Amino acid sequence: MTRHEFVRQLIPGLTAAPGTCGTGSAPVNIALAKYWGKRDSELNLPRNSSLSVALPSLGTRTRVILIDGPQDRVTLNGQPAPEGFTRRLSAWLDLFRPAGAAFEVETENSVPTAAGLASSASGFAALARALDDLFDWQLDARTLSMLARIGSGSASRSLFDGFAVWHRGERDDGLDSWAEPLPQRWPALRIGLVEVDVTQKPVGSTAGMTRTVDTCPLYDAWPDFAERCVRDLTAAIEARDMEKLGEIAEHNALTMHATMIATRPPVLYWIPESVAAMQRVWALRQAGTGVWFTMDAGPNLKLLFEADARPAVVAAFPDLRIIAPFAP
């Protein structure tokens, strides 16, 4: 099945008058059990389930207007968007384009683009919501999650606040691969962003995944391990067990990075400052502070801790940007 056919069976239609406008917003999310590897790149189906937490204060707000063609016009934070950004958006918008029409897209992002802080996740989730508004589809969150998934896998999880699980699904048609929220809240949980480098990453996640699946001899162990991490993390969240959550998330991230590094040519997202930050986290833990880290396809770390550890964590990371995912 093509992604066009996939999308057409999910949406009621593409009828709207030129000038019709839709808006949508969505938070970024940080995976605690990562998605790494596709089993179908056309439908963006993952080889493993993943689990994330949303950062409600960071994300994307998007406004889409249907215009007469021939070309989409895209702005990012008030400026014409970079060419690669527009190309990727337009390719996804092609799936929803009425004949002869184009889209004007105004995107406000409060996260640095493509720095491993998952701006594509909030971006495609917000855009899916904006199209739902524009075409007045009134789709449920599960369906929007599947539409966003086509744009970027991790976007499937950005339709929700709090914890979310993206189920890998079993079917070839991709209709059982969507994300849903977990009911638990964790008011004391904190995420600290250690931004060691916010420039563009050298290898995008799709290229990195393809290369890993194709050439990494360790990759065979990943899907089962990742699935187990999702189960164990769900139990840690139910028990509100910080040590268990931190241990699983950090081990999961390092295992993913081990598969990246063991790929040919290697995919190494770390820079010396990333390693220094990891060592600082381990030293803090050694000294009795409950802090762990996770990392995505980039050099930055995300620290995981509870509110009572904040003074010790900030003493070691004075520039830390701290987010409370469950703030009222």
* Least distance between ligand PMV and beta carbon 198 (Å): 15
Cβ neighbours, 10 Å, residue 270: 17
β-strand partners of 192: 303, 322
Q: Which is nearer to ligand PMV, 135 or 192 (CB)?
A: 192
* Least distance between ligand PMV and beta carbon 260 (Å): 9
Q: Which is nearer to ligand PMV, 60 or 120 (CB)?
A: 120
Q: Which is nearer to ligand PMV, 155 or 320 (CB)?
A: 155
Q: Which residues bind ligand PMV (CB under 6 A)?
A: 31, 34-35, 50, 118, 120-121, 152-154, 205-206, 296-297
What is the Cα–Cα distance from 107 to 9, expressed in whole angstroms? 27
* Least distance between ligand PMV and beta carbon 256 (Å): 7
* Least distance between ligand PMV and beta carbon 298 (Å): 8
* Least distance between ligand PMV and beta carbon 154 (Å): 3
Q: Which is nearer to ligand PMV, 130 or 267 (CB)?
A: 267
* Least distance between ligand PMV and beta carbon 57 (Å): 18
Q: 9-30 burial string, b = 16+ CB within 10 Å, else e?
A: ebbeebebeeeeebebebbbbb
Q: Which is nearer to ligand PMV, 20 or 215 (CB)?
A: 215
Nearest to 281 by CA among 248, 313, 249: 313
Look up residue 105 and give its two tokens. Answer: 């897209």
Q: Which is nearer to ligand PMV, 30 or 134 (CB)?
A: 30
Q: Which is nearer to ligand PMV, 120 or 259 (CB)?
A: 120
* Least distance between ligand PMV and beta carbon 297 (Å): 4
Q: Please state, in angstroms and as integers, the Cα–Cα distance from residue 237 to each residue in 52, 189, 233, 292, following that order.
A: 11, 11, 6, 15
